[in-house]
C-alpha cells in the first residue's frame, strides 16, 4: 500500500492554491476549453466561500502558470495554447560555473547512485519511468535476428575462432566512416575504433587526456554515469550550468578555465542532453569547438542521442567543426539499433593512438559478430526507415507523457519539452522532494529518476527525469496519476515547501 494511502495529511494547502488547483485540473482535462471565460472574482468568492484576497490569488496563480490570461475590464479567459498549461523549467544562472568539487566532496557519488539503482533493482517495479531506453517492441527484433543468423551462416567459425588481428574489423570501420560522413564528420576508416557502447568510450577518453587530480568540466545537470566515471578515475569535477534551450554555458566555461589551471577536458552531450534534452545550436557548437582549440582542452562528445532529434535535416555533431583533432567523438547504437548489442565506436582525435593503446590494454579485441551485425544494419536504407519510425513512436509517447503531467501533476509543475528523445526533465513545485517521491513511487511499483542523481552539488532536489520510452498504455497513465497524487500529498504535508526548497 502506498504512502498516499497510509500517511495522514498534515494540513491542507492554502485556500488560494486549492482553488487554483481545482480550475487548473479542469483546464488540463479539457472541461474548460481554450477561450472559456473564467468565473469572476465575485463568483469565486460565492462558489468556494473564500475572501476577495483568496479569489484574486487563485486567479493570479493560474495566470502565472500560463493557463489563463486577463483581458482588461472583461475578466480572465483560458489560454489558447495547450502548451501553456505547463511553464518551462526555470533556467540556471549561466554566467558562473557551479563550485568545483574537490576530492573529499566528490568522493561517494558512486555509492549514492548505486544505492538508488540497487533500491530500484530490489523493488517490485511494474512501470519503469526511470530508464532512458526505448521499449523493446520499438526495435525490429525479427530483422536483427535474421541478419544475425545470416552472418552466422556466412561465417560459421566466427564464435569459435580467436582473432589474432588486433583492432576493429575493417567492414565495421568502413560502414561507420560512411555513416559519419552523412552528418559532416570526416574520419578515415582506420580512425574508427569499436567500443562497448558510449560508457567505455567516454571512460577511455578520460583516461587518455587526464590523470589523477585533473579537473573535468561537465554539464549540470548531467548523466549520472559520467559522475561515476570521473570519480572512479580519481579526477575532480566542475559542473558548468547548462540551459535546456542552448546547452552548456560558454560564459561559465570561460570563467572555469581562468580559475582551474588543471582543467583538461570538457564532456558534453550536444544533442538531447541528458537529462534536460537541450539541442545545442550550430553557432554554439562552432564557438565551443573553437574555444577548446584555443585553450587546448579535450572536447569529449557523447553523441548517443543525435539520431533521435526531431528535425527534417541532419543535425551535425561537434566533430563536424573539428579541424585540429581536439574533439574525441563517441557514438553508440544502444538507443537506436539494439540495446542488447552494446555496440559503439569512437574516434580519439589527436589522442587516438593513446586511446587505442588503452583499449587494447583493458579489453583487448571486440567480438567480430557484433561489429558485422551493426555494420550491415547501419549501412542499409532500412536503418534510416527504422529511425524515422522510432522517432515517430517516441514523439507520440512524449506528447502523451506531457499531457499526462499537465493533467495529473500539481499546480506549479514545470517542464521543458525537448525536440526529440526519450525523457522529460520536470521541475516540481515547492514542497515536493524528488528523492522522497522516488521512495514513495517505488512503494507503488513505479520507478522514476530523482534530480539529485544528475549532479553532485546538492541541487535539483525539486527536479526529476521521467522516461517516455514506454508505449503509453492505461497502466502508464495510471502511473502518472499516482505520481501526481503522491506529489500533491507532499505539498499538503509541507505547504511552505521547506523540505525541498
With helix as H, strand as E and coil as C, how does 426-442 read? EECCCCCCHHHHHHHHH
Q: 296 or 493: which carries more pLDDT confidence? A: 296
Q: What is the CATH number of domain 168-379?
A: 3.40.640.10
**Does position 8 have pLDDT exceeding 80, yes or no?**
no
> Sorting pLDDT into bands at 50, 70 and 90, what band is 293?
very high
- The distance in angstroms from the start CA to the end CA of the chain is 28
Q: What is the pLDDT of residues 397-419, one digit of tens each?
A: 998 898 899 889 998 899 988 88
pLDDT of residue 289: 98
In angstroms, the CA 383 to CA 379 distance is: 7
In angstroms, the CA 403 to CA 91 distance is: 22
Task: Tell me which residue of 479, 472, 490 sits closest to 428, measured CA to CA.
Answer: 490
β-pairing verdict for 298-302 and 236-243: unpaired
Per the CB < 8 A criterion, the answer to whether 474 and 485 are in contact is no
- In this structure, what C-alpha cell is assigned to residue 157? 567459425
- The DSSP line for 57-123 is HHHHHHHHTTSEEEETTTEEEE-S-GGGGSBPPPPP-TTSPPPEE-HHHHTTHHHHHHHHHHHHHHS
Q: What angle do CA 342, 343, 344 make, to 5 degrees?
A: 125
pLDDT of residue 375: 97
**Does position 90 have pLDDT exceeding 90, yes or no?**
no
Mean pLDDT of the chain: 89
Task: Tell me which residue of 140, 23, 213 sits closest to 383, measured CA to CA.
Answer: 140
Q: Averaged over 451-480, what is the pLDDT?
A: 94
In angstroms, the CA 129 to CA 469 distance is: 8
Task: Tell me which residue of 462, 441, 439, 444 sits closest to 452, measured CA to CA.
Answer: 462
Q: Averaged over 256-280, what is the pLDDT?
A: 95
**Does position 369 have pLDDT exceeding 90, yes or no?**
yes
- Where does CATH 3.90.1150.10 sit in the chain? 107-133+384-501
**Does position 312 have pLDDT exceeding 80, yes or no?**
no
In angstroms, the CA 251 to CA 240 distance is: 9
- In this structure, what C-alpha cell is assigned to residue 328? 574525441
pLDDT of residue 9: 33
Which ranges of 295-432 does DSSP label H, i.e. alpha helix?
Answer: 352-363, 368-378, 381-408
Q: Averaged over 17-40, what is the pLDDT?
A: 84
> Sorting pLDDT into bands at 50, 70 and 90, what band is 184?
very high
For residue 163, the surrounding DSSP H or E stretch is none
Beta bridge partners of 489: none
CATH among 1.10.10.10, 2.70.98.60, 2.120.10.80, 3.40.50.970 for 15-84: 1.10.10.10
**Does position 228 have pLDDT exceeding 50, yes or no?**
yes
> Sorting pLDDT into bands at 50, 70 and 90, what band is 18?
confident
Which ranges of 233-347 does DSSP label H, i.e. alpha helix?
Answer: 250-259, 282-294
- Where does CATH 1.10.10.10 sit in the chain? 15-84
3-state secondary structure of 28: helix
Task: Tell me which residue of 266, 221, 144 sits closest to 454, measured CA to CA.
Answer: 221
Angle between helices 368-378 and 141-154 (to 10 degrees): 120
Q: Averaged over 184-203, what is the pLDDT?
A: 96
pLDDT of residue 91: 83
- In this structure, what C-alpha cell is assigned to residue 50? 473564500
**Does position 233 have pLDDT exceeding 90, yes or no?**
yes
pLDDT of residue 104: 44
β-pairing verdict for 247-248 and 236-243: antiparallel
3-state secondary structure of 410: coil
For residue 137, the surrounding DSSP H or E stretch is none
pLDDT of residue 82: 46
CATH among 3.40.50.10210, 3.20.20.70, 3.90.1150.10, 3.30.2350.10 for 107-133+384-501: 3.90.1150.10
In angstroms, the CA 86 to CA 75 distance is: 21
pLDDT of residue 105: 52
- Where does CATH 3.40.640.10 sit in the chain? 168-379
Per the CB < 8 A criterion, the answer to whether 450 and 116 are in contact is yes
Helix-, strand-, coil-residue percentages of the chain, each rounded to 5: 45, 15, 40
> Sorting pLDDT into bands at 50, 70 and 90, what band is 385?
very high
In angstroms, the CA 492 to CA 411 distance is: 12
In angstroms, the CA 215 to CA 89 distance is: 29
Question: In a 10 Å sphere around its CB, with 0-12 CB exposed, 13-18 middle and 19+ buried, how is residue 173 labelled?
Answer: buried
In angstroms, the CA 351 to CA 325 distance is: 8
Q: How many CB atoms lie within 10 A of CB 455?
A: 24
pLDDT of residue 498: 53
Cα 65 off chain centre by: 24
Which region among 39-53, 69-83, 114-128 has the lowest average model confidence (pLDDT)? 69-83
Q: Averaged over 419-435, what is the pLDDT?
A: 95
Which region among 2-11, 298-307, 392-401, 451-460 has the lowest average model confidence (pLDDT)? 2-11
In angstroms, the CA 54 to CA 60 distance is: 10
Q: Averaged over 369-383, what is the pLDDT?
A: 95
3-state secondary structure of 197: helix
Q: 143 or 114: which carries more pLDDT confidence? A: 143
pLDDT of residue 131: 92
pLDDT of residue 35: 85
Q: Averaged over 212-233, what is the pLDDT?
A: 93
Amino acid at each position: 500500500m502506498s504512502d498516499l494511502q497510509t500517511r495522514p495529511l498534515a494540513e491542507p494547502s492554502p485556500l488560494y492554491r486549492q482553488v487554483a488547483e481545482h480550475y487548473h485540473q479542469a483546464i488540463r482535462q479539457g472541461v474548460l476549453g481554450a477561450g472559456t471565460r473564467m468565473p469572476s472574482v465575485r463568483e469565486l468568492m460565492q462558489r468556494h466561500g473564500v475572501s476577495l484576497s483568496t479569489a484574486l490569488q487563485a486567479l493570479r496563480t493560474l495566470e502565472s502558470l500560463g493557463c489563463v490570461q486577463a483581458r482588461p475590464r472583461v475578466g480572465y479567459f483560458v489560454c489558447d495554447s495547450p502548451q501553456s498549461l505547463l511553464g518551462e523549467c526555470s533556467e540556471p544562472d549561466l554566467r558562473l560555473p557551479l563550485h568545483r568539487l574537490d576530492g573529499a566532496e566528490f568522493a561517494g557519488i558512486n555509492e549514492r547512485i548505486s544505492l538508488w539503482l540497487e533500491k530500484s533493482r530490489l523493488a517490485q517495479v511494474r512501470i519503469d519511468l526511470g530508464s532512458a531506453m526505448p521499449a523493446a517492441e520499438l526495435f525490429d527484433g525479427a530483422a536483427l535476428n535474421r541478419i544475425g543468423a545470416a552472418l552466422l551462416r556466412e561465417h560459421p567459425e566466427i564464435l569459435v575462432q580467436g582473432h589474432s588481428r588486433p583492432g576493429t574489423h575493417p567492414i565495421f570501420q568502413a560502414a561507420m566512416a560512411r555513416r559519419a560522413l552523412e552528418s559532416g564528420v570526416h574520419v578515415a576508416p582506420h580512425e574508427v575504433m569499436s567500443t562497448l557502447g558510449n560508457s567505455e568510450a567516454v571512460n577511455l577518453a578520460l583516461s587518455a587526456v587526464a590523470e589523477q587530480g585533473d579537473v573535468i568540466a561537465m554539464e549540470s545537470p548531467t548523466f549520472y554515469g559520467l559522475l561515476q566515471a570521473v570519480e572512479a578515475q580519481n579526477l575532480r569535477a566542475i559542473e558548468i550550468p547548462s540551459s535546456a534551450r542552448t546547452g552548456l554555458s560558454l560564459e561559465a566555461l570561460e570563467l572555469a578555465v581562468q580559475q582551474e589551471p588543471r582543467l583538461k577536458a570538457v564532456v558534453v552531450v550536444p544533442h538531447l542532453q541528458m537529462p534536460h534534452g537541450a539541442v545545442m545550436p550550430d553557432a554554439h557548437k562552432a564557438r565551443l569547438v573553437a574555444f577548446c582549440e584555443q585553450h587546448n582542452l579535450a572536447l569529449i562528445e557523447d553523441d548517443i542521442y543525435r539520431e533521435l532529434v526531431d528535425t527534417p535535416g541532419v543535425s551535425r555533431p561537434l566533430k563536424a567543426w573539428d579541424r585540429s583533432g581536439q574533439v574525441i567523438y563517441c557514438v553508440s547504437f544502444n538507443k537506436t539499433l539494439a540495446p542488447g548489442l552494446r555496440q559503439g565506436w569512437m574516434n580519439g582525435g589527436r589522442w587516438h593512438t593513446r586511446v587505442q593503446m588503452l583499449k587494447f590494454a583493458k579489453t583487448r579485441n571486440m567480438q567480430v559478430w557484433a561489429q558485422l551485425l551493426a555494420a550491415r544494419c547501419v549501412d542499409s536504407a532500412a536503418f534510416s526507415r527504422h529511425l524515422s519510425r522510432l522517432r515517430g513512436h517516441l514523439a507520440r509517447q512524449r506528447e502523451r507523457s506531457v499531457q499526462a503531467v499537465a493533467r495529473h501533476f500539481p499546480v506549479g509543475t514545470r517542464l521543458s519539452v525537448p525536440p526529440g528523445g526519450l525523457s522529460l526533465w520536470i521541475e516540481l513545485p515547492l514542497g515536493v522532494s524528488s528523492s522522497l517521491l522516488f521512495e514513495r513511487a517505488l512503494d507503488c511499483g513505479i520507478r522514476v529518476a530523482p534530480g539529485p542523481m544528475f549532479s553532485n552539488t546538492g541541487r535539483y532536489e525539486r527536479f526529476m527525469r521521467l522516461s517516455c520510452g514506454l508505449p503509453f498504455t492505461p497502466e502508464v497513465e495510471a502511473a502518472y496519476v499516482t505520481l501526481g497524487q503522491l506529489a500533491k500529498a507532499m505539498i499538503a504535508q509541507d505547504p511552505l515547501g521547506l523540505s525541498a526548497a
